[in-house]
Amino acid sequence: MRPRLHFTADRGWINDPHGVTFHAGEYHLFHQYVPESTVWAPNCHWGHAVSPDLLSWTHRDIAIAPGDGDEGIWTGSLVDDGGSTRIFYTSVAQPDLGLGRVRIATPTDPTWNTWTKGDIVVRPPSELDLIAFRDPFIMREDTNWRMFVGAATRDGVALALTYTSDDLESWTYDGVALSRSSDQVDPVWMGALWECPQIFDVDGHWAMVSSVWDNDVLHYAGYAVGDRDSYGAGRFSPTEWGQLSFGGSYYAPSFFRDEDGRPCLMFWMRGVVDAGAGWASCLSVPHTLAVQGGRLVASPHPELEVRRQTPLGSGEHAAAFDLVWNVASPDEELLLEGPSGKTARLTVSNGVVALERPGQETWTMPWSGERLRMLVDGSVVEVSSHRGILGGPIDPTTAWRSPNGDVEAWLLVPRR
């Protein structure tokens, strides 16, 4: 069941990735973690792992744990400013877990293995009637720092609130960076709360990526895109809205830049579980971002191509493989087979890519004739095109077959 290239906990539950940073020659990954549990609980910790290449991860000890006034250490971000390193996390406590506070932690040594909690630096603004407030994201803006925090009003408006600071310690509330009512559905519905809203530049454009939440139901990742002039002084006026992920697995994308400065996202993937081994959920492979025709496009990170070892033919077995499906005509299909005898099926027809799995809901994504890229890693599949990404849990898979399709495939190895 355990994938080889998708990060999982040794044991326990994981969800949102955050704070992905290249530091001192390696990548650091932090993530939401509930030890010794296969279901979510509010007493989340910040787990920690390191990697030379974003795919081969080594677990480290828990970075931050509940206590000292925190009943849960929820999602946030990391700022590494050449000697001034800070984690900004959502501190939650009863009686209202939904309204978090932003608290600081600082590393005790250059390895970032242990952290010391500091002050609560931001609380929900009292002038807004909020039911949710969480997930700080920090970026440099000119000579100052800017923070965005996800929020929701009682009357169904999703918000990205913003704060400014010149020292990463004292923060001033600066209003609403971007908002959208849950009544708006065209061209995409963006829910009543944006979890993990992140605003950043990519390809000379500005983009906002968030997780779409409504009434305690987690939906998908959505985005907004604008041109170079669409962002200024903490206010974003996008020209396009879209849906980035499809199906019921992807959620909580985390933005970061890789060693070469490329804009990237990594997602939490729900439903990938081995209860017998005591672990639940995985993280996606990293994806690089581009803006094409006004649409935000996510593609598997180039490191995946480094992992291609040998071509893999139809029916040949491998623990993990990478496929490019050059779809020649509608009504083609690709089969994913494994030792259980249960076959997942990918089909293209009538402008839709469909992922069909025995005994489970069929998930779909728009398709406009482009080739499809697929990563199959044991019990996980990820499908990407310029229309979005579709993926999630499958029965453990070791081979592919395509009765009438043009498919290129390679064995993937977990390490260089």
pLDDT tens for 250-279 read: 999 999 999 999 999 999 999 999 999 999
Q: Which residue among 10, 16, 129, 260 is the active-site one?
A: 16
Confidence label for 82 from pLDDT (cuts 50, 70 and 90): confident
> What's the whole-number average pLDDT of the chain?
96
Question: Which is it for the CA torsion 315, 316, 321, 325, positive or negative?
Answer: negative
Two tokens at 260?
């070469």
Range 307-412 has CATH code 3.40.50.2300? no
pLDDT tens for 131-186 read: 999 999 999 999 999 999 999 999 999 999 999 999 999 999 999 999 999 999 99
Q: Please say if the pLDDT value at position 83 is more than 80.
A: no
Neighbours of 162 (CB within 10 A): 24
Q: Give the helix/strand (H/E) hosting 7.
A: none
Phi/psi for 328 (5° steps) reads -85, -30
Per-residue model confidence (pLDDT) at position 230: 97
Q: Residue 12 contacts by C-beta under 8 Å, 6 or more apart in sequence? A: 33, 34, 35, 36, 37, 38, 278, 279, 280
Q: DSSP character for 228?
A: G
Confidence label for 339 from pLDDT (cuts 50, 70 and 90): very high
Query: What's the rounded mean pLDDT across residues 372-398?
Result: 97
Confidence label for 1 from pLDDT (cuts 50, 70 and 90): confident
Query: What's the rounded mean pLDDT across residues 323-335?
Result: 90
Q: Residue 196 and residue 214: Cα distance in Å, rounded?
A: 14
Q: Would you list the domain boundaries of the chain?
A: 12-302, 307-412
pLDDT tens for 197-239 read: 999 999 999 999 999 999 999 999 999 999 999 999 999 999 9
Q: In 166-249, which ranges are E strands?
A: 172-181, 193-202, 205-214, 217-226, 231-232, 235-236, 240-243, 245-246
Residue 238 near residue 358 (C-beta atoms within 8 A)? no
Chain length of the chain = 416
Q: Residue 364 and residue 39: Cα distance in Å, rounded?
A: 26
Query: Bridge-partner residues for 249, per DSSP?
Result: none
Q: Residue 122 and residue 136: Cα distance in Å, rounded?
A: 10
- What type of residue is 177? A
Phi/psi for 306 (5° steps) reads -65, -30
Q: Give the helix/strand (H/E) hosting 410.
A: strand 406-412
- What type of residue is 253? P
Q: Please say if the pLDDT value at position 415 is more than 80.
A: no
Per-residue model confidence (pLDDT) at position 29: 98
Examine domains 12-302 and 307-412 and report if their fold is the same: no
pLDDT tens for 86-144 read: 999 999 999 999 999 999 999 999 999 999 999 999 999 999 999 999 999 999 999 99
pLDDT tens for 27-37 read: 999 999 999 99
For tokens 């990205």, name the residue. 160
Check if 16 is active-site: yes
Confidence label for 329 from pLDDT (cuts 50, 70 and 90): confident
- What type of residue is 81? D
Question: Quick one: 29 exposed, middle or buried, by C-beta within 10 A (0-12, 13-18, 19+)?
Answer: buried
- What type of residue is 289? L
Per-residue model confidence (pLDDT) at position 350: 87
Q: Which CATH topology does 12-302 take? A: Tachylectin-2; Chain A (2.115.10)
Q: Please say if the pLDDT value at position 403 is more than 90.
A: no
Q: Give the helix/strand (H/E) hosting 5.
A: none
**Portion of the chain with pLDDT greater than 70, in percent:** 100
How distant is the alpha carbon of residue 382 from its chain centre?
13
